[in-house]
A and B are shown apart, each in its own frame.
Chain A
Amino acid sequence: MSSTNEPDSTTVAEPDSDTVTAAEPEPNTVIITDPNLIGSETVYPFGPTAEPEAPMASAAVYPASEPTRWRYLDQIRTRPGPFTNPEAFDGKTVAENMEKMKVLVIGAGGLGCELLKNLAMSGFKNIHVIDMDTIDISNLNRQFLFRESDVGKSKAEVAAAFVERRVKGVKITPHNCKIQDFDEDFYMQFQIVVCGLDSIEARRWINATLVNMVDEEVEDSYKPLIDGGTEGFKGQTRVVLPTVTSCIECQLDMHAPRAAVPLCTLASIPRQPEHCVEWAHVIAWDQEKPFPQLDKDDPEHITWLYQKALARAEEFNIAGVTYALTQGVVKNIIPAIAATNSVIAAACCNEALKIASGCAPYLGFPDNNYMMYSGNDSIYTYTFNHERKADCPVCGTRAREITVDPSWTLKELVESFATRPEAQLKKPSVRAEGKTLYMQSPPSLEEQTRPNLEKTLTELGLAEGQEIGVTDPAFATVSFKFKLKFGQA
């Protein structure tokens, strides 16, 4: 799933001392109710009570269909090893259960191609894949299920057909559309969801949807979400057990948005080649409107921006504006290679196999739900526990405290939601104590509430400690709760 820009991921954050804890057992995890993942009697298979048991390498293998072909896989998934929790593992039923499971892959791009291959090679037989994108030539350096002759075709359809052809016996259903086109009934049919997405927004949407679907009474409503992301030689894999472990929204501050260049820098004091490109993109394009609408994939449009940027750079004696830089800035291109996607997608599918079979402990239970990977300087992985946040707007119960300046106008507050690392809401509507302060839509309500934007928080009667509710069209089902704290923001 991707928009016009093309990375295989969001940016990878560095370990954040506020949100990262060392891998110590957390007392809460022992008393978790048994969200059902696989079969009728299974619980999260790796409980803290699991002690390393005597080896059972000589234990019987329980193949399902085609025993010779899946020999290597069955040796591992149907037999316990020293780290398997024997109470949550029944080798006899593993292969059969996995053949019945439905797995959803979101994204058929750099990670998605790898995910489909890996899941098919891990013994899953029924896979769905969603992607609204078509194949571009710049995908071919890593999206290995696509050929030059596929350029312009649906990613989901080409990828699904390829893997079905190569791996006999697997069924892959493509959906050439947006994840938002489906409702909870659709997502309810899957046992595991694996994401290879390039946008934070899509991740937040599916995360919120899966968390909202949890019904404590219905064991089948807990859908583990496995998420991968890459950038250059770096990447991350994380497992979300909705309402049990920290969710994507709890981890949002690890993916801080890129700081925007102030408009006045672009308009009057550019210093970097990027400033010249942004000027061409944001200011010159709007003034001159050379084409009815900017198409970031049209080389002619990029060339226009490039030449504008180049002329501006020459005017200010700034070096370094190139076509590639122009394209990179305008499309927010994130470098991507096959090798890194291979690492991260395989790490995701490894977790899917462990969750589905119970043959080994997996990320997220009882701890260590997040693996960071960096290959820039040697290889470094950091596998840690990202703690759930009680004030998470999606899976938490408490309102999240935000520091605001009481002399701010409502407009300033509304705009601040876009840039706050812990909010990142672009079109927020705000309510307080049942009163609507500002609504982005419908237009009539927007018009009615617009005058409030110029009033200060104090004038609007907002007090310290007050809770406000924020909604955003990107997250139809969620109301983000914030608690105001007055101070210098």
Chain B
Amino acid sequence: MTEIVMSQTPPILHGPSEKERKYDRQLRLWAASGQAALESANILLVNSGAGTVGVETLKNLVLPGIGRFAIYDDAKVEEADLGVNFFLDSDSLGRSRSQSQTGFLLELNPEVEGAGYPNEDIKSLESLLADSPLFTLIMYTHPTSEEYLSLLESYGQQHKTPLVAIHSAGFYSYFQINLPGAFPIVDTHPDETATTDLRLLTPWPELSAFAKELANDIDNLSDFEHGHLPYVVILLHYLEKWKADHNGSYPSSYKEKTEFRRLVQGAARTNNAEGGEENFDEAAAAVLKTLTIPSLPSGLKEVFEYQHTDPVEQRSSFWLIADAIKQFYEKHQCLPLPGKVPDMKAQSKVYIQLQNIYKAKARQDGAEIVQTVKAAAGDDHQVDPAEVELFCKNAAFVKLINATGGKISRADRLREVAAQEFANDEMAEMTLSPLSLLPIYLALQPTARVASATADEIVAQIAKLVPGADKNERVVQAAQEVARAEGGELHNIAALTGGMVAQETIKIITKQYVPIDNTCIFDGIHSRAQILRL
């Protein structure tokens, strides 16, 4: 039997490797490029407090295969650790917490390297930072000492390393990402449905000619041909007709567009078994969505308007391409064509032809960008055409995180945001919007350096951060809730927060999807999160 089967089956052409099989479910999210970025990442966790949230985060990074990690944690394992931290057991009691955790984490994925500190050779955080290969990202969990904090901050500034502060206590948590300057993302993975860009109101000659060729004699087409005209062709045909009847202008108002939709729908042949034509249904359904001139997306606008402060940054390939795209936009009043055609009812050959027309135009636009980039970059700077292609494909969805950092002080910004959030809360009942989670962030601040505090102490500290906030009932409640935890973690909240931090870390390392900007607060009592820029 086996032999027969073997003889019937040709050899595996591009079957997956062992590693591809293991990572299959995540490669479908971030592809080989994202995986390669993860595998070259070196993550440091500076752990303190109850110490669970950081380890839960690392678990979610070791499993998908980061290159290596280090844990700096000078605590010895105590009995209370075993009630909250899964990556320790009773054999760990009295031993170094960082090393015990490291051992259990490494079991999760043999391809990952990791070490726990302090150890025989490296005793202090300072020497760990000085003697280690460059860290890609550093996480630290509160409470953190002033000393560690200033060491990490200066390392972050010097090496442009993203820092993530994490605080989990009782039912509450937050984490805050500090990126070293503006952080652009091209591969944002927008929803498929949002990316359709067909240029039906600004067709180029090849596209118009194609539509004309197919639909010129539309009334005399066979039923089969008529029922298989791609909706792009149908819309282009009837737009021409509309223009002829409306002094050369396209349907622009909502009323005109619905009228145009009726025109399209009415052109379907109904003397058939189905009583209509699917391609005409598709055409009618696409009218409102596709017959608009897209405005410049806000994310890209931010990129175009970004003021550089760092000349090195300005010469990076992202900014060179962004600048070329800006010039393209100014010249043509549109972005380079992404070139993707959604599936639509059509004959195979016709659909592929249509696809090729869009692809050719996208390549032509891309070539223009490459030219501009080359001219600006000079000979010594190579820009990868694949990077240009990706940028052109995603131009409408490019995002800039942390674009406006550093204009006002942290303390002032917190007060500004607090005023805004409390004002929103006053209106929340009317606007039916959820209440702000800022009180949770405020209530956790006073325990960011010390393990625990009473509710009264917390409220008094908040008053110093945001004058008047101590009078807010929800702030007082949050302070009471934080006091209940006495600096202790709940495993679930640590695991949940660790999941979120790991997601964000993956996004930052792979430069795919869109990370938060910059603080995520979680309320485990009402099970919801809020993102604030603080």
Contact = CB atoms under 8 A, between A and B. Distances in A.
B484 A81 contact: yes
Interface in A127-147: 137-138, 140-142, 144, 147
A76 interface: yes
A107 to B, nearest CB: 16
A351 B529 CA distance: 15
Interface string A23-59: 1100000000000000000000000000010010100
Interface stretch (B2-10, B116-124, B288-296, B403-411): B2-10
A377 interface: yes
Specify which of A142, A144, A304 lies most central, judged by the most chain B CB atoms within 10 Å of its CB.
A144
Contacts, number: 289
Nearest to A328: B28
A335 B513 CA distance: 15
A71 B63 contact: no
B496 A82 contact: no
Given A333-B28, A346-B499, A360-B525, A73 B83 contact: yes
B56 A66 contact: no
A233 B29 contact: yes
Nearest to A68: B79
Specify which of B25, B28, B528, B529 lies most central, judged by the most chain A CB atoms within 10 Å of its CB.
B25
B515 interface: yes
B492 A342 contact: no
B22 interface: yes
Nearest to B527: A371
B171 interface: yes
A435 interface: no
Interface residues of B, number: 97
B529 A121 contact: no
Contacts of A79: 484
A335 B434 contact: no
B477 A82 contact: yes
B23 A141 contact: yes
B432 A22 contact: yes
A243 interface: no
Interface in A152-169: 165-168
A303 B23 contact: no
A323 B16 contact: yes
A375 B531 contact: no
A70 interface: yes
A114 B513 contact: no
Contact of B12 (A299, A327, A342): A299
B348 A269 contact: yes
A416 interface: no
A381 B528 contact: yes
A83 B502 contact: no
Given A138-B25, A269-B351, 13 more contacts: A69-B83, A70-B83, A72-B84, A76-B488, A81-B525, A140-B109, A142-B64, A144-B59, A337-B503, A363-B527, A373-B529, A378-B514, A378-B517
Interface of A: 6, 22-24, 52, 55, 57, 66, 68-73, 75-76, 79, 81-83, 114, 117-118, 121-122, 137-138, 140-142, 144, 147-148, 165-168, 232-233, 237, 265, 269-272, 290-291, 299-300, 303-304, 306-307, 310, 316-318, 322-324, 327-328, 333-347, 349-351, 353-354, 360-361, 363, 368, 371, 373, 375-383
15 contacts: A23-B434, A68-B79, A81-B170, A137-B21, A140-B109, A141-B26, A166-B89, A168-B89, A307-B13, A323-B15, A339-B503, A342-B499, A346-B499, A363-B527, A368-B526
